[in-house]
Amino acid sequence: MAESGKFEVRFWGVRGGIACPGPSTARYGGNTPCIEVRLGRHTLILDAGTGIHLLGQALNERSPVAADIFFSHTTLERIGGIPFFTAAYNPKNTFRIWAGHLSTRPGVQEVLAGLMAEPVFPVPIGIMGARLEFNDFGAGETLEPAPGVRLRSAALNRSLPVIGYRIEWNGKSVGYVSDLIAGPEGDEAAALALLEDADLAICNTAENAPGAADWRCGARLCDLAGAKTYVVFHHSPDHDDAAMDKIAAEAQALRPGTVIAREGMTLTP
């Protein structure tokens, strides 16, 4: 029997690279990646860029909460909000933190502890009052973070370690393919497997890198995978609202129904 409740995806940070708040980015938002996925009573969090600060404030209003945080990778744009994640300082809350790209490196706990240490940050991770559990897994594993929630993972690139995810619950699915490298360095087959027939496909390529493909690569992947709604994500910090409006118009013309992610936007698969 399917669990009752809503399947909702809320965007708290949608930028790549560096946060770029200001009047020219106010409509689409300037925080770096953070997505909240609510599956009935359970919450998953995808990446912890600066957008997780706002999410933490919202979670404290729902405290006590228990949630799983899954990192696609641990570059600064994906972990930079952790020190300012106020919900993690609340002793009523519990967070399980997961990474699948660190098998030959220090684990996720060591990475985050290094972020929150002198001389980088004055407050150590041990001061956080919430119950924190750290888990490293292997790329390609399928996890069940909550009863009925199936989360598939895959390594997206051959050189740059990045994990993509597919979340399945109550007959609906969301694919999260972020920072797939265009060309032979990227594992397109792995990306397509995560996006196959997905109700929502949250994609970008490494468009901030010189010569890398842009959002059109994600549109092509969605077409090949038969994904329903393509959500363009990880916007360049150099793209102001006017530039994003132009991309939105081009995306609608190329693939009608495409959505450009904005901070505060909530989608239902």
Q: What CATH number does residue 222 fall under?
A: 3.60.15.10
Return the structure tokens found at 14: 């949608």
- In tens, the pLDDT along 117-147 reads 999 999 999 999 999 999 999 999 999 999 9
Give a yes or no: residue 1 inside a domain: no
pLDDT at 1: 36
Residue type, 68: D
CB 55 within 8 A of CB 40: no
Count Cβ atoms below 10 Å from residue 106 Cβ, excluding itself.
12
The single-letter DSSP state of residue 32 is P
Res 159: pLDDT: 80
pLDDT below 50 — which residues of the chain?
1-2
**Tokens found for residue 241:** 């609202």
Within-domain flag for 145: yes
Please choose, from the candidates 241, 263, 209, 242, the residue with its C-alpha nearest in 3D space to the C-alpha of residue 13: 263
Task: Show Cβ contacts of residue 251 under 8 Å, excluding neighbours closer than 6 positions.
Answer: 215, 219, 230, 232, 258, 260
In a domain, 192, yes or no: yes
Which residues contact residue 201 at a Cβ distance below 8 angstroms, ignoring those fewer than 6 apart? Answer: 174, 175, 177, 195, 218, 221, 222, 225, 227, 228, 229, 230, 231
Give me the pLDDT at residue 214, please: 80
* Structural domain range at position 26: 7-267
pLDDT of residue 12: 98
Return the pLDDT at 76. Answer: 95
pLDDT for residue 212:
55
Residue 102, in any domain of the structure: yes
Residue 91 inside a domain? The answer is yes
Q: What is the DSSP letter of 2?
A: P
Whether 95 is covered by a domain: the verdict is yes
**Number of domains into which the chain is organized:** 1
Does residue 2 fall inside a structural domain? Answer: no
Cα–Cα distance for residue pair 112/114, rounded to 1 Å: 5
Is residue 98 in some structural domain? yes
pLDDT tens for residues 73-83? 999 999 999 99
What's the pLDDT score for residue 86?
Answer: 97
pTM: 0.95
